[in-house]
Structure 1
Amino acid sequence: MDRLRELLEHDQVMETSANQGPAELEVFAFSIEDALKEAAKFWNTSLLNLEYEILERGKSGFLGFGRKPMKILVKKTKSLSLGVELLGGAGEAEVEFSANEDGSFHVIPRTHSLMVKVTPPKGQGKSVNFDVAKAILANKGITGYDENLLRKAVQNASGQWVKIGDRSPTPGDAKISFQISTDEMKAFMVVTRPEKGGGFPENDEVINLLKAKKVFYGVKEDAITQAFENELYNVPVIVAEGDYPEDGKDAQIHYHFKTDSDKAVVKVKEDGSVDFHDLDVVQSVVAGQILAVKEPAGKGKPGKTITGRVLPARDGKDVPLLPGNNNHLSPDGLQLISDINGQVVFKNGRINVEPVYEVRGDVGPSTGDVNFPGNVVVYGNVNDTFKVYAGGNVEIKGNVGKAHITAEGNLVVRQGIQGKDEAQIVCGGDLYAKFIERATIRAEGDIVVTEAILHSDVSSKKRVFCQGGRRSQIGGGRIRAFQEINAKFLGTEAYAETILEAGIDPDAEDKLMTLITQRDNIKKQLPDINKQVTNYSMLLASGPLPPDKEILYNELVAKQTELKTILQETEDQIAEIQKYIDGLAAEAKISASKTVYPGVKIKIKNAVLQVKSDFQFVTFSLGEGSQVKISPYEQAKGMEETLQKVMGSRRR
C-alpha cells in the first residue's frame, strides 16, 4: 500500500488542475475497493463521488507468487453519484485484452454452493491448470469441494459459472446491507469483505432480502453476481432500478420548404464579389408536392418504482396541420399536398399556395433572379443582368433592361424592352409590349407592339404586329414571322437595313443555318485530311511506316471516317429540314398601313424584294414564279380586336 501511495503522489498521478487537484488518477491495486479507497483518501471525498475504469487486469499469481496489481483509472464525478452501476459485465466487459491472453479462474463461495468460472485462453495464451485452480482455492481457505467437478470445469473452460460443491453458512461470510433512494427508483447493495474461507449469499437470498425491503421491480441479478465476482466491498452497487416515466413527444410539423423565405440569402462568389441573382427568395412548389408532414403526438410511457408504484406519464400535445388555399390533407391527415404550381406562403396561420408570385418593386439585387412555376407579376422593372422564369404568364408593369425573360405562357411588358443588344426574351405564348429596342425575341404566339420595334432580332411562329401607337414603326434588325408582319412604317427614313421575312418557320430556319455552317466547316477540313491520308497510304504501299507515323496515320484515318459520317448525317438533316420549309403552306404577307422605306428587304418564303423606293399603303405576298406580289394594304384578320385588347389592358 505504501507503493500505491507513492504512485498516486508521483508519476502515475494525472493532474488536471493545480488548485483543485487532479480530476482523474491511475491507480495500481489488487482490488477495486483498495483503488477506490486510496483515491477517496487522496481527494478527501466519499466513495460515492468516484467512478472507475479498469485499464489493465492484474494477475493473481500462484500461491501469492507472480501477482500483478490491476491498473485502474479513477475519476471524480461532476455530480454526486449514488453508487456503482454494473450492467452487462461491468468491470470485465470494458477490459480490452491483447490477442494473446491466458485463461482465468474465478471462484465465488455462496451460502449453499461453491461456484467457479473458468475462461478459455485467447490466441497463444495458456489454459488454466487444474493444480493452479486447486492452489487458488486453498489460498482462499476453500475446502470440501468435488475435485472431479473442478477438473471437469477446468477442462471445459466454458466461461460460465459451474457448481463444484456444497457449503454451509459460516460466521466469516460477507454481510450485505441495502439502501433505498428517497424516490424509490434505485436500490444499492453494500457488501463487506468476507473472512478467509467465507462466502457470499446466493442471489435468491439477496432477492428475498430486497423483497423484504419492498423491492419487487427492476432487480439486476447480473449486477449482484458481478459485485461478488469483482470484489466490490463497501461500495454502493445498484442492484435494482425502476423505470422513469417518459412523457409522449409533442406533435411536430416538418415543413418541406423554408419558412423564412422573406429573408434573402446573399451568396459570396469565390472572387469575393456578391451574387445578387441567386437569392432563393421564392418558395416555388408544383402540384402534388408535399408541403409539410406531421409527426403525430406520442403516447406517454408510464414508469414504475422498484417498490412497484406506477408513475404516470403525460401524452404529447397535438399540433393541428391545417390546409390552406390550393392544398389538401392526405387521407391520414399527416401530409399537406399542393394542388397547383405556385408559391407557398404562410397566411393567417395556414400554409397557402398562391398561383401568382408578385414582386412589389423591381427585379434586382433585393429580389435576385425569379424562378417560379406559376404566373409572375412584376410591379416595377426588370433590371439589367437579372432573369425571370415563369411556368405560366409574366406581366411586367415597368421596363425590361438587358435581362433574360422566359415565360412558358404569355408575356406582357407594360412599358418597353430596352435590351442594349443583350436582352434575351423567350415566350411560349403571345408577347405584348409598348416598344422593343435592341433585343432578341422568340415567341410561339403573336408579338404585338404598339410603338416601335427597333434594331432587334424578333421571331414569331405566328404574327408580328406593330400598330396602335403614334408611330408604330419597325426599323432596323431582322423580323421573322410564320404568317404575317404588319406595321404602320417599315424601315426608317435613314434607310437602315431592315430584313423582314414571312412564310418561314424561325426555329426550322435557325436549325438549318446551324447545320449549313456545320457542313461548311467539315467541307473545309476534309480536303487537307484526305490529302494527308493519301500521302501516308502511298508511303505505306512501299513498306511499313515508322511507329510515330503509323500512329498519326491511324488517327487521320479515324478522323476522316468520323467527319465523313457526320457530313452525311448533316446533309441528310439539311435535306429533311429544307423539304419541311419548302412544304410550308402559310399565306404569308408583309404589310405597311403607311410607308415602306428604302433599305427594307422583303422575303416571302423564297421570294425576295429589295425596296429601293418608298411604298405607301401596301401589302407584299407571294406571287407567281417565286416573285413578291405587291398589292394595296390589307388589314390583318383579328388585328383590331387584338389591339383593342392590348390598349384596354394598358389603360388598366
Structure 2
Amino acid sequence: MIGHYALNHYLNITFSDDKGIAYLQFSKKDENFACTVEDVEGFLHSHNIRYGLQRNIIERLSSHPEEYFFNKVSIAVGDTATHGTDGQVVMAVHLNEDADRRPNEKADGKVDYKDFNRLSNVRKGQLIATITPPQPGTPGKTVTGEEIPNKPGKEAYFKIGKNVLLDNNQTSMYAAIDGLITLTDKGKINVFPVYEINGDVDYSIGNIDFVGTVVIRGNVLTGFTVKSAGDIRVVGGVEGAELISGGSIEITGGIIGYNKGHITAEGNVKVSFIQDGTVIAGEDVFVSQSIMHSNIRAGRNVICNGTKGLIVGGIVQAGEKVVARTIGNTMSTATAIEVGVLPELRNEINELRHQLRLLLESADKTNKALYLLNQLATNGQLSPDKVALRIKLNATKQSLSRDESTIKNRVLEIERLLEDTGKAKVEVIKTIYGGSKIVIGRYTRFVKDPSERVVFTYSEGDITISPYI
C-alpha cells in the first residue's frame, strides 16, 4: 500500500473558486496503484479538506482506483449559501392590466367582447396591499470548513400615493376613499375618486363599472354599459347605450337611443337633446334643446326651456312639473305630458289595472265552469274526476277573490295619492299644439287646438288653463 504522504505523487487536488467543491484527479497513472480509505482521508486532510467528504467515492477509489485514472471527480462538496428573499408588496386587489384584459365568457360559452373592463374598485377602509417580510437565508460552508456568507433579503416599503392609509406597523395599506386603484410615478399606489377615459367607450374600453365618478371624453357607443356609484359625465354623445348612476348624469352632446338605450340616475340628468331614448331621473331632467319620441321619467321636474325647448312625441312624466317652450307640432303628433305624481306610482297603477283585467277574465271563466259543474251536481251526474275539478275551481275562485281585493285596495291607495296635485303643473312658454295630452294626477285633458303661453294646473276636479306669466 502507498501511504497518504506518497499519494501526493499520484493525486492532485483543485478547488472551485469559493472552495465549495474539492476535485481529485490522477496526475500519475500506475496499474500497481493501491491505497486504503484511511490513506485517502489522510491525503485530503493534508490538503485542509475537512468537510463534505464523499464517502462512497473514497471507498470506490480505494477499491477500484483505475476507474478514476482519466476523470476529475468531486471528492468533497460543501454547502451552498442560500440567499435570503426580499420582502414584497403583495396586492390584495387585482389590478387591471392591459395584457390581462380578456373578454368575459358567459355560462353558455359565449364571449362578450364588451365586458372585459373589470376596474380595480375599492371601498373606503378596504385592504389594498400588504408587505411580506424578507427571509434571511442561510450561510454555506466550504470543504475546508469555512463559512460562505449569504445575502439577507431586503426590506420592502410601500410607495405611497394619494388617498391611501397605512396601519401602525406600516405593513398593511388601506383605501382612504371609495375609488380606483391606480399605479403612478414608479409604482406609487393611489386611490382616485374619478375614472377618466380620453376617448370613446367602445370595444377598446369595454363596459365600465366604477365606485366613483366616471368622466368620458368622447362618445358612449351602442350596446355598451357605464355604471357608476357616483356621477357620470360624458363630453360627447350617447347612442343606444346604458348609463346607470348613483349620482347625476351630464351629457354635453345628446342622446340618440335608437329605442334601446337607457339612462338612469338617482339624481339629475342634464343633456342637450334626447331622441328615441329612455331617461329616468330620481330628481330633475334638464334638456337644453329638444325631447323627441322619448320616454322620460323624473321624480321632480322636467325642464326643456332652452332656445328650441321642444317636446314632441313619446311620454314625459314628472312628479311635480314640466316646463317646455313648445309641446307637440303642427302635424298633431301624439305627445303625452303627465305630472302630479311620482312616475313609478303612475306606472304601477297602470300595471295594476292591467292585472285586474286579466284577473277578472280568469274569475269569469272560473265562475262559468263552476256553474256547469253545479248543474251536473244537482242532477246527480258528477263523476269523481268532476268532483275533484269542482274542489280545485272553488279554491281558485277564493284565491282570485283575495288577489282582486288586494289589487283594488292598492289602486284606491294610489288614486288618493294622485289627488295630491297641489304643485303639479305644465308650463308652456310658447306653443302647445293639438294632439297633445295633459295628465295631472288622475285627470286628463286632450289639447285640440294650439294655445300660446299657457299653464295647465288642477283645480276643483278639472285641469284648468291660465296664462303663462
Pick the TM interval, shorter chain: 0.7 to 0.9
Displacement after TM superposition at 1:379 (Å):
0.9
Q: Which residue of the partner structure matches residue 217 of structure 2?
A: 379
| Aligned residue identity for 2:212 | G
Aligned CA distance change for structure 1 residues 305 and 603 (closer, same or farther; 3 Å) = same
* 2:461 alignment partner, one of 626, 629, 635: 626
In structure 2, C-alpha distance between the alignment counterparts of 1:302 and 1:564, rounded to whole Å:
87
Following the alignment from structure 1 to structure 2, what is the Cα–Cα distance between the partners of residues 371 and 386? 11
Take 1:601 and 1:183, find their aligned partners in 2: how far apart are those partners?
A: 106
1:389 aligns with 2:389: no
**2:371 is the counterpart of 1:504:** no
Correspondence list, 1:120-131, <5 A: none
Secondary structure of the structure 2 residue equivalent to 1:298:
coil
Task: State the one-letter code of the partner of 1:333.
Answer: Q
Compute the displacement of 1:385 (Å). Answer: 1.1
Q: Does 1:354 align with 2:192?
A: yes
| Letter of the structure 1 residue corresponding to residue 465 of structure 2 | I
Q: Determine the C-alpha separation between the residues in 2 that align with 1:351 and 1:387.
A: 27
Give the match for residue 612 of structure 1: 448
Q: Is 1:489 matched up with 2:356?
A: no
List gaps (5 residues or longer) in structure 2.
Answer: 1-35, 60-76
Distance 1:574 1:448 in 2: 31
Matched, 1:593 2:432: no
Query: 2:96·2:118 contact (CA, 8 Å) conserved in 1?
Result: no
Question: How far does residue 300 in structure 1 lie from its aligned partner after superposition?
Answer: 3.4
SS at match of 1:513: helix
Aligned to 1:405, what secondary structure does the other structure show? Answer: strand
1:89-139 deviations in Å (ceiling 9; x for gaps): xxxxxxxxxxxxxxxxxxxxxxxxxxxxxxxxxxxxxxxxxxxxxxxxxxx
Q: Residue 529 of structure 1: which of 354, 360, 366 is its match?
A: 366
Give the C-alpha shift of residue 306 in structure 1.
11
Q: 1:270 to 1:286 in 2, by over 3 A?
A: closer
Q: Within 1, Cα distance between the matches of 2:225 and 2:215?
A: 13
Output one character per residue of 1:549-581: Cα deviation in whole Å (capped at 9) or x when no partner. 676566555544544443333333333333333
2:412 paired residue among 565, 572, 575: 575
Query: Where does residue 419 of structure 1 map in the other structure?
Result: 257
Q: CA offset at residue 372 of structure 1?
A: 0.8
**Unmatched segments (≥5 aa) in structure 1:** 1-174, 193-240, 635-652
Verify: 1:403 aligned to 2:241, yes or no. yes
Q: Which amino acid is 2:233 matched to?
A: E
Cα root mean square deviation, aligned: 3.4
Q: Distance in 1 between matches of 2:422 and 2:311?
A: 22
For 1:566 and 1:534, how far apart are their aligned partners in 2?
A: 21
- d(CA) in 2 for partners of 1:428, 1:603: 24
Distance 1:614 1:531, change over 3 A: closer
**Which residue, 435, 445, 469 being the options, matches 2:283?**
445
CA–CA distance in structure 1, aligned partners of residues 148 and 440 of structure 2 = 91
Aligned equivalents of 1:480, 1:592: Cα separation in 2: 15
The corresponding residue for 1:283 is 120
Taking structure 2 as the reference length, the TM-score comes to 0.77
Q: Are 1:248 and 2:72 an aligned pair? A: no
CA apart distance, 1:249: 2.8
Q: How many residues align?
A: 408
8 A Cα contact 1:261 1:281, kept in partner? no
1:282-318 CA distance string (max 9 Å, x none) = 3222222222122121233557899997665543212
User: 1:342 maps to which residue?
Assistant: 179
User: 1: distance between equivalents of 2:382 and 2:85?
Assistant: 83
Residues 336, 436 of structure 2: 8 Å contact kept: yes
- Cα deviation for residue 189 of structure 1 reads 7.9
Alpha-carbon spacing, 1:534–1:607, altered in 2? closer, same or farther (3 Å): closer
Matches within 5 A, 1:543-582: 546=384, 556=393, 559-582=396-419
Q: Percent identity between the aligned chains?
A: 29
Name the SS of the counterpart of 2:452 in structure 1.
strand
Q: Distance in 1 between matches of 2:165 and 2:397?
A: 62
Hey, what's the Cα distance between the residues in 2 that align with 1:563 and 1:251?
A: 70
Separation in structure 2 between the aligned mates of residue 305 and residue 543 of structure 1, nearest angstrom: 109
Distance in 2 (alpha carbons) for counterparts of 1:581 and 1:571? 15
CA contact (8 A) 1:285 1:341 kept: yes
Q: Distance in 2 between matches of 1:534 and 1:243?
A: 100
Once the 2 structures are TM-superposed, how far is the Cα of residue 543 of structure 1 from its aligned partner? 9.1
Deviations 1:192-246 (A, max 9, x none): 9xxxxxxxxxxxxxxxxxxxxxxxxxxxxxxxxxxxxxxxxxxxxxxxx998765
Pairwise CA distance, 1:467: 1.5
Asked if 2 retains the 8 angstrom alpha-carbon contact of 1:475 and 1:491, the reply is: yes
Change (3 A) 1:298 1:540: farther
Aligned-partner residue type, residue 296 of structure 1? P
C-alpha distance in 1 between matches for 2:268 and 2:130: 39
Q: In the alignment, residue 279 of structure 1 is paired with which amino acid?
A: F
Quote the residue 1:433 is aligned against.
271
Q: Does 1:184 align with 2:51?
A: yes
Normalising by structure 1, we get a TM-score of 0.56
Corresponding residue SS for 2:457: strand
One-letter amino acid of the structure 1 residue matched with residue 444 of structure 2: V
Q: Is contact 1:276-1:366 (8 Å) kept?
A: no
Q: Distance in 2 between matches of 1:524 and 1:273?
A: 42
- Structure 2 counterpart SS, 1:454: strand
Where in structure 2 are the equivalents of 1:11-22 lying within 5 Å? none
User: 1:629 Cα deviation (Å)?
Assistant: 1.9
Q: Which residue number in structure 1 is paired with residue 67 of structure 2?
A: none
